[in-house]
Structure 1
Amino acid sequence: MWVRLQRIYPTTSPWPQEATTPLPCSAGGAWAAELVMGVYRCVAAVDDNGDPATCEQVFNDAEKLLSDAAAMRQAALCCFPATEEGPDVLAGEYRPIGPNGGCGGGQMLVTVRFTECCPTP
């Protein structure tokens, strides 16, 4: 499993709409970070004799990958609790990856809102 930063951008209302100019914190300015969360695991593939995976193996792999997708959504939504302004996280689209070379998985875009204020000296 992995998480990587895709981009950070200024946001405005309605969140997570991209702002054309960032507002200062005192004026309600905020930022959004787009994260890509993903998982990759071994899946059944053609064996050394050239025989394809059985229906049961393919079904079991699909079940595991769907469970991974649900776990990613749950992790994203539980890690960033809602504030008075509303939720600070948006779990986006899940996209399958593969299968390729006996591996498969998926990735999901997660957008997180945060304020960036400079501390007073």
Structure 2
Amino acid sequence: MSAGPFLSIKAPRALLDRLDAYRYATRTRSRAEAARELLDRALDAFFEASRAEPVRRGDPDYALVRARRRQPAEALPIRETEARLARLKKMRNQHRGELIIEAVRKKDEADVSPVKASP
């Protein structure tokens, strides 16, 4: 068993079947080893493709990039964002409660059957 950080993921059966096919084709010992190899290759490809090109003097965007680097970043409005999120959650929960009450009322109305008078 290998030591170090541990990652556990849930995957659909079709993905596990594809992982097994890769494992058999590359003759890796286990699913974990095959998954590590594939994850490493996928992340390498991702970071290679997403690498930013350097901007040099004379490029059309040089002045913009240089200005952005010199400007201080604004602080994120955490308190305002948290307050708005709390309001949205409260409204969502109230709306859910109203929907539940309405569904119960409709069910109760449907369950009530007229009583027949006996002669």
TM-score (norm 2): 0.25
Q: Which has the higher helix share?
A: 2
In terms of Rg, which structure is larger?
A: 2
TM-score (norm 1): 0.25
